Protein backbone atom coordinates (compact mmCIF):
# COMPACT_ATOMS: atom_id res chain seq x y z
CA UNK A 1 0.00 0.00 0.00
CA UNK A 2 1.22 3.49 -0.83
CA UNK A 3 2.36 5.90 1.85
CA UNK A 4 0.23 8.57 0.18
CA UNK A 5 -3.05 6.74 0.91
CA UNK A 6 -4.20 8.63 3.98
CA UNK A 7 -7.35 10.19 5.41
CA UNK A 8 -8.04 13.63 4.04
CA UNK A 9 -7.41 12.85 0.37
CA UNK A 10 -10.16 14.33 -1.75
CA UNK A 11 -11.37 14.29 -5.33
CA UNK A 12 -14.11 16.17 -7.14
CA UNK A 13 -15.77 15.21 -10.40
CA UNK A 14 -18.37 17.13 -12.36
CA UNK A 15 -20.92 14.88 -14.03
CA UNK A 16 -23.33 16.03 -16.73
CA UNK A 17 -26.71 14.38 -16.23
CA UNK A 18 -27.38 12.99 -19.70
CA UNK A 19 -30.24 10.73 -20.79
CA UNK A 20 -28.39 7.49 -20.00
CA UNK A 21 -28.05 8.60 -16.33
CA UNK A 22 -31.76 9.31 -15.87
CA UNK A 23 -34.90 7.31 -15.20
CA UNK A 24 -37.24 6.79 -18.14
CA UNK A 25 -40.20 5.00 -16.55
CA UNK A 26 -42.03 8.24 -15.64
CA UNK A 27 -41.89 9.80 -19.09
CA UNK A 28 -39.72 12.49 -20.62
CA UNK A 29 -41.00 15.22 -18.30
CA UNK A 30 -39.59 13.41 -15.26
CA UNK A 31 -36.13 12.46 -16.52
CA UNK A 32 -34.09 12.76 -13.30
CA UNK A 33 -30.69 11.39 -12.24
CA UNK A 34 -31.28 7.79 -11.17
CA UNK A 35 -29.96 6.60 -7.82
CA UNK A 36 -28.13 3.58 -9.36
CA UNK A 37 -26.30 5.90 -11.77
CA UNK A 38 -25.55 8.35 -8.98
CA UNK A 39 -24.04 5.50 -6.97
CA UNK A 40 -22.01 4.35 -9.99
CA UNK A 41 -20.59 7.84 -10.45
CA UNK A 42 -19.68 8.00 -6.75
CA UNK A 43 -18.03 4.57 -6.94
CA UNK A 44 -15.95 5.58 -9.96
CA UNK A 45 -14.87 8.82 -8.27
CA UNK A 46 -13.76 6.87 -5.17
CA UNK A 47 -12.07 4.18 -7.24
CA UNK A 48 -10.17 6.66 -9.39
CA UNK A 49 -8.90 8.47 -6.30
CA UNK A 50 -7.73 5.16 -4.82
CA UNK A 51 -5.98 4.12 -8.03
CA UNK A 52 -3.79 7.21 -7.77
CA UNK A 53 -2.55 6.04 -4.35
CA UNK A 54 -2.31 2.24 -4.41
CA UNK A 55 0.22 -0.07 -6.03
CA UNK A 56 0.13 -0.45 -9.81
CA UNK A 57 -2.01 -3.38 -10.90
CA UNK A 58 -4.15 -3.24 -7.74
CA UNK A 59 -7.80 -2.21 -7.65
CA UNK A 60 -10.70 -2.11 -5.20
CA UNK A 61 -14.33 -3.17 -4.82
CA UNK A 62 -17.20 -1.49 -2.99
CA UNK A 63 -18.25 -3.24 0.20
CA UNK A 64 -20.82 -0.97 1.83
CA UNK A 65 -22.80 2.13 0.90
CA UNK A 66 -24.89 4.49 3.01
CA UNK A 67 -26.61 6.85 0.61
CA UNK A 68 -29.38 9.38 1.11
CA UNK A 69 -30.49 10.68 -2.29
CA UNK A 70 -31.97 13.95 -1.05
CA UNK A 71 -33.07 15.74 -4.20
CA UNK A 72 -33.82 15.37 -7.89
CA UNK A 73 -31.45 16.52 -10.61
CA UNK A 74 -33.05 17.00 -14.00
CA UNK A 75 -31.77 15.88 -17.37
CA UNK A 76 -29.31 18.46 -18.69
CA UNK A 77 -28.15 19.66 -15.28
CA UNK A 78 -24.84 18.71 -13.69
CA UNK A 79 -23.69 17.45 -10.32
CA UNK A 80 -20.39 17.89 -8.56
CA UNK A 81 -19.33 14.79 -6.63
CA UNK A 82 -16.75 15.38 -3.91
CA UNK A 83 -15.34 12.38 -2.08
CA UNK A 84 -13.01 12.49 0.90
CA UNK A 85 -11.04 9.53 2.20
CA UNK A 86 -12.21 9.36 5.80
CA UNK A 87 -10.54 6.18 7.07
CA UNK A 88 -7.79 3.73 6.12
CA UNK A 89 -7.67 0.45 8.03
CA UNK A 90 -5.39 -2.03 6.32
CA UNK A 91 -6.97 -2.72 2.96
CA UNK A 92 -10.31 -1.24 4.00
CA UNK A 93 -11.06 2.40 3.28
CA UNK A 94 -14.11 4.58 3.93
CA UNK A 95 -15.14 7.66 1.95
CA UNK A 96 -17.50 10.48 2.83
CA UNK A 97 -19.41 11.97 -0.09
CA UNK A 98 -21.16 15.21 -0.70
CA UNK A 99 -22.82 16.15 -3.92
CA UNK A 100 -24.27 19.37 -5.16
CA UNK A 101 -26.32 20.01 -8.23
CA UNK A 102 -26.14 23.00 -10.46
CA UNK A 103 -27.09 24.58 -13.69
CA UNK A 104 -26.28 27.78 -15.55
CA UNK A 105 -22.48 27.70 -15.27
CA UNK A 106 -21.23 26.98 -11.74
CA UNK A 107 -24.24 28.11 -9.74
CA UNK A 108 -24.86 25.58 -6.95
CA UNK A 109 -28.52 24.98 -6.17
CA UNK A 110 -28.71 22.35 -3.47
CA UNK A 111 -27.01 19.45 -1.78
CA UNK A 112 -28.63 16.33 -3.23
CA UNK A 113 -26.64 13.57 -1.56
CA UNK A 114 -24.71 12.78 1.56
CA UNK A 115 -23.28 9.39 2.31
CA UNK A 116 -20.50 7.04 3.27
CA UNK A 117 -18.99 4.56 0.86
CA UNK A 118 -16.65 1.72 1.86
CA UNK A 119 -14.25 -0.01 -0.52
CA UNK A 120 -11.75 -2.81 -0.11
CA UNK A 121 -8.50 -3.01 -2.01
CA UNK A 122 -7.79 -6.03 -4.20
CA UNK A 123 -5.43 -8.40 -2.45
CA UNK A 124 -6.23 -6.77 0.87
CA UNK A 125 -8.28 -9.68 2.19
CA UNK A 126 -5.30 -11.51 3.63
CA UNK A 127 -2.66 -10.56 6.15
CA UNK A 128 -2.48 -7.55 8.42
CA UNK A 129 -5.67 -5.57 8.69
CA UNK A 130 -8.06 -8.23 7.42
CA UNK A 131 -8.31 -10.42 10.49
CA UNK A 132 -10.71 -7.92 12.12
CA UNK A 133 -13.22 -8.16 9.24
CA UNK A 134 -14.62 -11.65 9.92
CA UNK A 135 -16.29 -10.71 13.22
CA UNK A 136 -18.12 -7.88 11.43
CA UNK A 137 -19.97 -10.27 9.11
CA UNK A 138 -22.46 -11.49 11.71
CA UNK A 139 -23.31 -7.95 12.91
CA UNK A 140 -23.78 -6.78 9.31
CA UNK A 141 -26.03 -9.77 8.59
CA UNK A 142 -28.04 -9.10 11.76
CA UNK A 143 -28.48 -5.44 10.75
CA UNK A 144 -29.60 -6.49 7.26
CA UNK A 145 -32.25 -8.74 8.80
CA UNK A 146 -33.43 -5.89 11.06
CA UNK A 147 -33.77 -3.58 8.04
CA UNK A 148 -35.66 -6.29 6.15
CA UNK A 149 -38.02 -6.88 9.09
CA UNK A 150 -38.73 -3.12 9.35
CA UNK A 151 -39.30 -2.78 5.61
CA UNK A 152 -42.71 -2.02 4.14
CA UNK A 153 -41.99 -4.85 1.68
CA UNK A 154 -43.60 -7.80 3.45
CA UNK A 155 -41.75 -10.25 1.20
CA UNK A 156 -38.57 -9.29 3.09
CA UNK A 157 -39.95 -10.15 6.50
CA UNK A 158 -38.48 -13.26 8.13
- 21 and 49 in a single domain? The answer is yes
Indicate the number of domains in the chain.
2
66 shares a domain with 31 = yes
Would you state the pLDDT for residue 150? 74
55 located within any domain: yes
Q: Which of 146, 1, 7, 141 is nearest to 86 (CA)?
A: 7
- At residue 107, the pLDDT reads 33
Going from the first residue of the chain to its last (158 residues), give the mean pLDDT of each consecutive group of 10, the final group possibly shorter: 82 94 91 92 91 89 82 89 85 72 38 63 56 62 70 62
Which residues are CB-neighbours of 35 under 8 A, at least 6 positions away?
67, 69
- pLDDT of the residue at 117: 64
Q: Say whether both 38 and 75 belong to one domain.
A: yes
pLDDT for the residue 149: 74
pTM: 0.66
Residues 112 and 136 in one domain: no
pLDDT of residue 29: 87
Residue 3 lies inside a defined structural domain of this protein:
no
Amino acid sequence: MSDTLAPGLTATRRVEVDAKRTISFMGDDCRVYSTPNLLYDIEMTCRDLLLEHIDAGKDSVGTRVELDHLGATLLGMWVEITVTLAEVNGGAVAFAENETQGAFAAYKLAVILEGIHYRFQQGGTVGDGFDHMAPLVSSLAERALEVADDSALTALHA
